[in-house]
Amino acid sequence: MIGKILKKFDDRFLKSEPRTGDLYAVAALFDTPDEIIHAAEKVSGSGYKRFDVLTPYPVHGMDGAMNLKPSNIGWVGLIAGMSGTSLAFLMIWWMVGVNYPNIFGGKPFFNLPASIPIMFELTVLLSALTLAGSLIAIYMKLPSNANPLMDTEFIKRVTSDKFGIYIEAKDPKFNKDEVEAMFKQLGSSSVSFIHEAVYEVGDTKNPLLNTKFLGALIGSSVITVVITYLVLNVLLFLPPFNWMHYQAKVLPQSESKFFKDGWSMRRPVEGTVARGFIPYEFAGMPDSMVVPTPNPLPVNQKVLDLGKKRYDTYCSPCHGFYGKGDSRLRGQFPVPPTLHSEKVMNWKDANIYHVITNGQNTMPSYASSISRDDRWAIIHYLRVLQRSQNAPDSDLEIK
């Protein structure tokens, strides 16, 4: 049954095209890579222009032997890649910087470093697709891939175990007898004459608009989509391929039939402390219970720079860049009081640390977002802001 189907396929699609009496090229086969390299050097050195070399695998040094010029495909990839980079840049800039700007902890609307991975991916994607399309449609001239070399003994051998070279009859220097003699002198194992083929043009002069070609293209796309869907959504969920999907584990906030409370997530044992972590001893207590401990960080430029960076990220959206309570959230959140009030200025550093850690009123706790050292650095920077906005006379330089 399968043999009959394959035979019908061969008879329908692999039949040889009828040949004319016009000579297309003289072709020669060689047995080793060294022989084909030598033949290519001889042919290119003799001044032939319309020739080509066919090998079953890449042969190092063939470009130089054939005296080939660099391909223009590199320029196609460069232009496509630069287009991908520019499109990604403009897309991200428009989305996050113009059309739908959002404030994320004091960061700029359009953040270039965070956009570079996306720009890189679109550069590679557009370049790869353009290169593949150019090779198929322009350089290989598909679907017009008809060539007199097809279905010849020469093409069968150079795609399996031989190395071949041919010179077209259209070459200005072409002479049938001279080319045949040159190939035999170079040690060719077989010299053949390839004649022009008669092709069935069909009902259209443009193969891209041929209904059979378009039907095959659409059919291949549909089959690819269906197979991909079945593999990714059906096959991978069937035994034994689903062993990575269904693992002996529980997911966060998922139901559990093992524990009595029905939850898979378990609370830490009461009273335990993570290794290397010192818990905040005043967590959940009122401000009056805080013992005024000094700020453990020194006051230097490095600490102030760190405090400014963390303040601008976490504090400035509500308190403003200068702590005046001029929120940058445009009324999307309750406006907090100024940090230059007498109450806050008279607070000890430990009291401010307590508010950052515990939260106060509508302000949530930032204990999970800001590390302990960063909280102390923010307090140092806040003192700088308070000093700059409420400078005493002693800070003023007298000239």
HSE of 311, CA atoms in CB hemisphere, 13 A? 22
Number of structural domains (the chain) is: 3
- Same domain as 36, residue 93: yes
Contacts of 159 (CB under 8 A, 6+ apart): 54, 56
What is the pLDDT, as a whole number, of residue 4?
A: 72
Q: Computed over its alpha carbons, how large is the radius of gyration of the chain? A: 38
* 54: Cβ contacts below 8 Å, ≥ 6 apart: 155, 158, 159, 163, 164, 165, 166
Tokens 């059309």: give the residue.
Answer: 99
Structural contact between residues 136 and 124, judged by C-beta atoms closer than 8 angstroms = no
Decide the pairing of beta strands 163-168 and 51-54: antiparallel
pTM: 0.47
Best CA proximity match to 374, nearest among 393, 357, 361, 387: 357
105 assigned to some structural domain: yes
Question: CATH number of the domain that 333 lies in?
Answer: 1.10.760.10
Is residue 34 in some structural domain? yes
Helices (H) and strands (E) in the chain, counts: 13, 4
**Within 10 A of 373 (CB to CB), how many other CB atoms are there?**
14
Answer yes or no: is 136 within a domain. Answer: yes
DSSP designation for 357: H
Return the pLDDT at 226.
Answer: 96
The reply to whether 230 and 114 lie within a common domain is no
Same domain, yes or no: 188 and 53: yes
Predicted local distance difference test score (pLDDT) of residue 377: 94
Domain's final residue, options 199, 229, 251: 199
Report the pLDDT value the prediction gives residue 394, as an integer from 0 to 100: 73
Residue 103 and residue 233 in one domain: no
Residue 340: count other Cβ atoms within 10 Å of its Cβ: 17
Domain-located, residue 106: yes
Q: What is the pLDDT along the chain (399 residues), one digit of tens a residue?
A: 777 776 666 666 555 667 777 899 999 999 999 999 999 999 999 999 999 999 999 999 999 999 988 888 889 899 999 999 999 999 999 998 888 887 777 678 888 888 999 999 999 999 999 988 888 777 666 666 678 888 888 999 999 999 999 999 999 999 999 999 999 999 998 999 999 887 665 555 666 677 887 888 899 999 999 999 999 988 888 888 888 777 778 888 888 888 888 888 888 888 788 787 777 778 778 877 788 888 999 999 999 999 999 999 998 888 888 888 888 777 777 888 888 888 888 888 989 999 998 888 888 889 888 988 999 999 999 999 988 887 777 766 655
Q: Which structural domain, as residue segments, surrounds residue 99?
A: 22-199
Is residue 99 domain-shared with residue 35, that is, in the same domain? yes
Q: Could you give the dihedral angle defined by the CA atoms of residues 321, 327, 329 and 332, in that order, rounded to the nearest 10 degrees?
A: 160
What is the pLDDT, as a whole number, of residue 201?
A: 58
- Same domain flag for 120 and 220: no
Name the E strands within the chain. 19-30, 51-54, 163-168, 190-197
Residue after which a domain boundary falls, among 147, 165, 199: 199
133-189 residue pLDDT tens: 888 777 666 666 678 888 888 999 999 999 999 999 999 999 999 999 999 999 998
Instruction: Tell which residue, 318, 324, 349, has the closest CA to residue 103.
Output: 318
Q: Is residue 64 part of a domain?
A: yes
Give the separation between CA 163 and CA 33, rounded to whole angstroms.
7
Q: Same structural domain for residues 211 and 193?
A: no
C-alpha–C-alpha distance, residues 58 and 108, integer Å: 51
pLDDT for residue 207 = 62
Is 114 domain-assigned? yes
- 23 forms beta bridges with 195
Q: Which of 359, 282, 276, 280 is nearest to 315 (CA)?
A: 359
Q: Are both 238 and 189 inside the same structural domain?
A: no
Q: Please check whether residues 44 and 177 belong to one and the same domain.
A: yes
170 plus 217 within the same structural domain? no
Which of 199, 232, 263 represents a domain boundary (last residue)? Answer: 199
Task: Say if 253 falls within a structural domain.
Answer: no
Inside any domain, residue 76 = yes
Q: Which two tokens stand for residue 136?
A: 């198929």
Is the CB of residue 27 less than 8 Å from the CB of residue 164?
yes
Q: Does residue 248 sit in helix, strand or coil?
A: coil
Q: State whether 227 and 170 are in the same domain.
A: no
Query: Is the CB of residue 118 less than 8 Å from the CB of residue 90?
Result: no
What's the confidence (pLDDT) of residue 50?
Answer: 92
Q: Is 182 exposed, middle or buried (0-12, 13-18, 19+ CB in 10 A)?
A: buried
Residue 218: per-residue pLDDT: 93
Say how far apart CA 177 and CA 171 lie, in whole Å: 14
> Tens of pLDDT along 211-232?
887 888 899 999 999 999 999 9
Per-residue b or e along 261-273, where b marks 16 or more CB atoms closer than 10 Å to that residue's CB: eeebeeeeeeeee
Is the same domain home to 234 and 303? no
> What is the model's pLDDT at position 188?
92
